[in-house]
Amino acid sequence: MRGPGRVLAAVAATTLAAGCSAATADATSTAPTVAQATVTGFKSGSPASRSAGPVTVILPGAAAAGLDQVVNGLPAGGSMDCMENVLLYAITFALSGSRTTIDVAGYACVAAVQVTEDGKTTLRTDSRCALLAAVRDVLPAGAVMTQRAVAGCDG
Protein backbone atom coordinates (compact mmCIF):
# COMPACT_ATOMS: atom_id res chain seq x y z
CA MET A 1 0.00 0.00 0.00
CA ARG A 2 1.36 3.45 -0.92
CA GLY A 3 1.53 6.24 1.56
CA PRO A 4 -0.31 9.46 0.79
CA GLY A 5 2.99 11.36 0.46
CA ARG A 6 4.19 9.19 -2.43
CA VAL A 7 0.92 9.52 -4.33
CA LEU A 8 0.92 13.30 -3.95
CA ALA A 9 4.56 13.47 -5.04
CA ALA A 10 3.78 11.38 -8.13
CA VAL A 11 0.76 13.56 -9.00
CA ALA A 12 2.80 16.72 -8.49
CA ALA A 13 5.65 15.42 -10.68
CA THR A 14 3.23 14.37 -13.42
CA THR A 15 1.48 17.75 -13.31
CA LEU A 16 4.81 19.61 -13.41
CA ALA A 17 6.05 17.52 -16.34
CA ALA A 18 2.82 18.08 -18.24
CA GLY A 19 3.05 21.81 -17.60
CA CYS A 20 6.62 21.88 -18.86
CA SER A 21 5.71 19.88 -21.95
CA ALA A 22 2.87 22.24 -22.75
CA ALA A 23 5.08 25.28 -22.23
CA THR A 24 7.80 23.80 -24.41
CA ALA A 25 5.31 22.89 -27.12
CA ASP A 26 3.85 26.40 -27.06
CA ALA A 27 7.28 28.02 -27.22
CA THR A 28 8.50 25.87 -30.09
CA SER A 29 5.29 26.00 -32.10
CA THR A 30 5.46 29.79 -32.43
CA ALA A 31 9.14 29.94 -33.36
CA PRO A 32 9.80 30.00 -37.11
CA THR A 33 11.51 26.93 -38.49
CA VAL A 34 13.72 26.56 -41.52
CA ALA A 35 11.47 25.83 -44.49
CA GLN A 36 14.04 25.89 -47.29
CA ALA A 37 17.70 26.57 -48.02
CA THR A 38 19.09 28.01 -51.22
CA VAL A 39 22.70 26.83 -51.51
CA THR A 40 25.03 28.45 -54.05
CA GLY A 41 28.49 27.26 -55.00
CA PHE A 42 30.71 28.52 -57.79
CA LYS A 43 32.33 27.20 -60.97
CA SER A 44 35.42 29.38 -60.63
CA GLY A 45 36.98 32.02 -58.47
CA SER A 46 40.13 33.60 -57.20
CA PRO A 47 40.99 36.55 -54.96
CA ALA A 48 41.59 38.66 -58.07
CA SER A 49 38.50 37.67 -60.07
CA ARG A 50 36.05 36.86 -57.26
CA SER A 51 33.69 33.91 -57.31
CA ALA A 52 31.96 33.36 -60.66
CA GLY A 53 29.54 30.98 -62.32
CA PRO A 54 27.01 30.39 -59.57
CA VAL A 55 25.55 26.89 -59.25
CA THR A 56 22.43 26.83 -57.08
CA VAL A 57 20.33 24.09 -55.49
CA ILE A 58 17.23 24.43 -53.32
CA LEU A 59 16.83 22.15 -50.32
CA PRO A 60 13.36 21.67 -48.87
CA GLY A 61 12.27 21.08 -45.25
CA ALA A 62 14.28 18.39 -43.47
CA ALA A 63 17.36 18.73 -45.70
CA ALA A 64 17.40 22.49 -45.09
CA ALA A 65 16.92 22.00 -41.35
CA GLY A 66 19.85 19.56 -41.29
CA LEU A 67 22.11 22.12 -42.95
CA ASP A 68 20.88 24.75 -40.47
CA GLN A 69 21.90 22.44 -37.60
CA VAL A 70 25.42 22.25 -39.00
CA VAL A 71 25.59 26.06 -39.11
CA ASN A 72 24.29 26.32 -35.54
CA GLY A 73 26.90 23.79 -34.41
CA LEU A 74 29.82 25.98 -35.53
CA PRO A 75 31.68 27.79 -32.77
CA ALA A 76 31.19 31.54 -32.55
CA GLY A 77 34.09 33.83 -33.25
CA GLY A 78 36.87 33.81 -35.76
CA SER A 79 38.26 36.50 -37.97
CA MET A 80 38.41 37.68 -41.55
CA ASP A 81 42.03 38.87 -41.37
CA CYS A 82 42.99 37.76 -44.84
CA MET A 83 44.15 39.91 -47.70
CA GLU A 84 43.07 37.34 -50.26
CA ASN A 85 39.74 35.73 -49.61
CA VAL A 86 37.37 33.83 -51.87
CA LEU A 87 33.68 33.23 -51.29
CA LEU A 88 33.28 29.44 -51.43
CA TYR A 89 29.52 29.24 -50.94
CA ALA A 90 26.43 31.16 -49.90
CA ILE A 91 23.32 29.83 -48.19
CA THR A 92 20.00 31.58 -47.69
CA PHE A 93 17.64 29.98 -45.20
CA ALA A 94 13.96 30.86 -45.57
CA LEU A 95 11.95 30.62 -42.36
CA SER A 96 8.42 29.28 -42.29
CA GLY A 97 5.69 31.84 -41.72
CA SER A 98 8.11 34.74 -42.14
CA ARG A 99 9.75 36.84 -44.81
CA THR A 100 12.92 36.84 -42.74
CA THR A 101 15.95 35.01 -44.07
CA ILE A 102 19.25 33.97 -42.57
CA ASP A 103 22.20 34.49 -44.90
CA VAL A 104 25.40 32.48 -44.55
CA ALA A 105 28.63 33.08 -46.47
CA GLY A 106 31.58 30.69 -46.28
CA TYR A 107 35.08 31.85 -47.15
CA ALA A 108 38.28 29.96 -47.93
CA CYS A 109 40.60 31.95 -45.71
CA VAL A 110 40.64 30.75 -42.08
CA ALA A 111 37.39 28.81 -42.72
CA ALA A 112 35.44 31.94 -41.83
CA VAL A 113 31.64 31.85 -41.94
CA GLN A 114 29.53 35.01 -41.79
CA VAL A 115 25.96 34.61 -40.53
CA THR A 116 23.57 37.51 -41.03
CA GLU A 117 20.24 37.44 -39.23
CA ASP A 118 17.94 40.35 -38.41
CA GLY A 119 20.50 42.78 -39.84
CA LYS A 120 23.24 41.59 -37.48
CA THR A 121 26.32 39.80 -38.82
CA THR A 122 28.31 37.43 -36.64
CA LEU A 123 31.35 35.32 -37.40
CA ARG A 124 31.73 31.59 -36.89
CA THR A 125 34.60 29.26 -37.68
CA ASP A 126 34.25 26.07 -39.70
CA SER A 127 37.62 24.82 -38.44
CA ARG A 128 36.79 21.17 -39.15
CA CYS A 129 35.11 21.97 -42.50
CA ALA A 130 31.82 20.38 -41.39
CA LEU A 131 29.71 23.03 -43.12
CA LEU A 132 31.90 23.06 -46.23
CA ALA A 133 31.53 19.26 -46.45
CA ALA A 134 27.75 19.50 -46.03
CA VAL A 135 27.58 22.14 -48.77
CA ARG A 136 29.74 20.05 -51.09
CA ASP A 137 27.44 17.07 -50.51
CA VAL A 138 24.42 18.93 -51.88
CA LEU A 139 26.08 20.78 -54.76
CA PRO A 140 26.60 19.15 -58.16
CA ALA A 141 30.05 18.61 -59.65
CA GLY A 142 29.53 21.72 -61.81
CA ALA A 143 30.35 23.88 -58.76
CA VAL A 144 34.01 23.10 -59.46
CA MET A 145 35.65 25.84 -57.41
CA THR A 146 33.51 25.11 -54.34
CA GLN A 147 34.07 21.37 -54.69
CA ARG A 148 37.86 21.67 -54.98
CA ALA A 149 38.82 24.80 -53.06
CA VAL A 150 41.10 24.42 -50.09
CA ALA A 151 39.81 26.08 -46.94
CA GLY A 152 41.67 26.89 -43.72
CA CYS A 153 40.52 23.79 -41.86
CA ASP A 154 42.35 22.03 -39.05
CA GLY A 155 41.37 18.62 -40.34
pLDDT in tens, 15-72: 333 443 333 344 445 567 999 999 999 999 877 668 989 999 999 999 999 999 999 9
For 24, the 3-state DSSP assignment is helix
Q: List, for residues 94-118, the tens digit of each pLDDT value.
A: 999 888 899 999 988 778 899 999 9
pLDDT for res 150:
75
**Looking at the predicted structure, is the pLDDT value of residue 78 above 90?**
no
Containing domain of residue 90, as a range? 32-148
Q: How confident is the model at residue 137 (pLDDT cuts 50, 70, 90)?
A: very high
Residue 41 within a domain: yes
**Residue 80 pLDDT > 90, yes or no?**
no
Q: Are residues 70 and 114 in the same domain?
A: yes
Q: Strands of 52-60's sheet, edge to edge?
A: 52-60, 34-44, 87-95, 101-107, 112-117, 120-125
In a domain, 154, yes or no: no
**DSSP tag of 111:** G
pLDDT at residue 125 greater than cutoff 80: yes
Whether 21 is in a domain gets the answer yes
- For residues 88 and 140, the answer to whether their CB atoms sit within 8 Å is no
Say if residue 23 is in the same domain as residue 75.
Answer: no
Residues 11 and 70 in one domain: no
Q: Give the residue from 84, 96, 88, 92 showing the smallest Cα distance to 116.
A: 92
